């Protein structure tokens, strides 16, 4: 008989990772960030516990979409009042709030429950190349399929 060992919340440790978004497609970057936030790269992954690490994404204003998504992709927000639905294209959102593009993509790849709201607090997205979390000494990860998997091992 096999016994499954679950990690307790107290035993989980947090690491800090730094992802550079310059020239990377949004979906590819969001997938990697969601894996790190969720903790699926760890051998002791437990689905119902916050096992994830902190993720800092820099250069969010230099992110790339493929195809005609800059003009065709729409982002919606609603204040809750009648008739207050607002829509913006990806290019408009990039000019005003470049962080929101990546935050929306990463949030969509997390589970829709209380755990995802906890995980989103561990995400920091910065439009430029400077961030204020140098004291945590984040580990920079090269974003490519092979190097990403090897860097986490």
Q: What is the DSSP letter of 23?
A: T
pLDDT at site 151: 62
pLDDT at site 9: 78
pLDDT at site 82: 95
- Supply the pTM of this predicted model: 0.88
Give 88-123 as a 3 state SS string: EEHHHHHHHCHHHHHHHHHHHCCCCCHHHHHHHCCE
pLDDT at site 75: 96
pLDDT at site 152: 62
pLDDT at site 150: 62
> What is the DSSP track for 123-145?
EEE-SSS--S-GGG-PEEE--SH
pLDDT at site 7: 80
Tell me the torsion sign for CA atoms 71, 87, 112, 63. positive
CATH class of 14-152: alpha beta
pLDDT at site 33: 95
Q: Where are the domains of the chain?
A: 14-152
pLDDT at site 44: 84
pLDDT at site 61: 95
pLDDT at site 15: 92
**Tens digit of pLDDT per residue, the chain (153 long)?**
778 777 887 887 889 999 999 999 999 999 999 999 999 988 888 888 888 899 999 999 999 999 999 999 999 999 999 999 999 999 999 999 999 999 999 999 999 999 999 999 999 999 999 999 999 999 999 877 566 656 666
């Amino acid at each position: 008989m096999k016994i499954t060992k679950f990690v307790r919340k107290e035993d989980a440790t947090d690491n800090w990772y730094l992802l550079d978004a310059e020239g990377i497609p949004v979906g590819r970057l969001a997938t990697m960030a969601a894996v790190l936030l969720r903790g699926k790269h760890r051998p002791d992954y437990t689905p119902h516990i916050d096992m994830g690490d902190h993720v800092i994404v820099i250069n969010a204003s230099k992110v790339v979409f493929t195809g005609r998504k800059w003009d065709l992709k729409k982002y919606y927000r609603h204040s809750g009042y009648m008739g207050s639905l607002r829509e913006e294209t990806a290019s408009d959102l990039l000019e005003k709030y470049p962080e929101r593009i990546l935050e929306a993509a990463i949030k969509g790849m997390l589970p829709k429950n209380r755990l995802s709201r906890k995980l989103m607090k561990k995400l920091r997205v910065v439009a430029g190349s400077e961030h204020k979390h140098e004291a945590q000494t984040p580990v920079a990860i090269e974003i490519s399929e092979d190097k990403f998997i090897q860097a986490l091992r």
